[in-house]
Amino acid sequence: LKNVPLFNSLANEQLKTLFRAGITKSFPKDHVIFYQHDHGDTFYIVITGKVKITLLNEDGKEIVLSLLKEGDFFGEMSLMDDETRSVSAVCVENTTLFLFTRNQFHKLISNYPGLLTKIFTEICSRLRHANKKIESLAFLDVCGRTIQLLQQLKLEQGEKTNAGIEISHAPTHKEIASMVGASRETITRIIKVLKDNNTLVSYKGRKVILREHANNLLI
Ligand code: CMP
């Protein structure tokens, strides 16, 4: 719990108390932690692994709102507003979580009110991301959204190589599809167009090489 940003202002003794108040649980890849509209009674912290926060429809289509990693928390909304789960949460890989019950969560924030400010700041950041997502869904087509995502990855992870700008942990075509709200086939078609017009050098598995000067990535 020492490495969890939410708890980084707590002393060792306080962390020990927290540790005794919760439990650790591990889940396999693809395990659904909860579905949207489930009753919510637990607050979660990611210890290892990754969790996607996602909207699923009945046909199995999904749009991933956020990918949570080590140290991130989720599940606070239902515990604060007494509504059902706002979205679904699924393990992207084998994942270990630290769990607090509803009562423990409320005790936690009344004993350490500083935690509320941190939770609130994180909710602000998530709302900003969600607003950006609404903006791109409303104003950009699938192609524009894919290009925006590649540009974002280029800024966050891009490394200069002889062949161009390399992104070594890019999402697969299927993962891009669920991030931009399109089918896998459409994304594969868009990637091909980007290759044909020389924006992309290659897209193999998770390794993408973009042309160095394709800043605008225009088609
Ligand atoms: P809760 O509604 O209890 O269960 C789903 C959780 O996903 C929610 O609490 C938040 O912790 C988290 N969540 C909901 N919407 C988003 C979002 N847009 N971005 C990141 N996390 C979210």
Mean local confidence (pLDDT), 18-46: 96
Is residue 34 within 8 Å of residue 26, measured between CB atoms?
no
Nearest-angstrom CA–CA distance, 139 and 119: 30
CA angle 75, 76, 79 (to 5 degrees): 105
Largest CA distance in the chain: 59
pTM: 0.84
Is residue 190 within 8 Å of residue 145, measured between CB atoms?
no
Percentage with pLDDT > 90 across the chain: 77
**Which of 41, 65, 79, 128 to probe ligand 1 with, by most ligand atoms within 8 A of CB?**
65
What is the distance in A from the centroid of ligand 1 to the CA of 85? 8
Ligand 1 binding pocket (C-beta < 6 A) is 40, 53, 65-66, 74-78, 85-87, 89, 126, 130
What is the distance in A from the centroid of ligand 1 to the CA of 87? 6
DSSP-derived 3-state class of residue 91: strand
User: Can you tell me which atom of ligand 1 is nearest the CA of 88?
Assistant: 5
Q: Is the pLDDT of residue 130 over 50?
A: yes
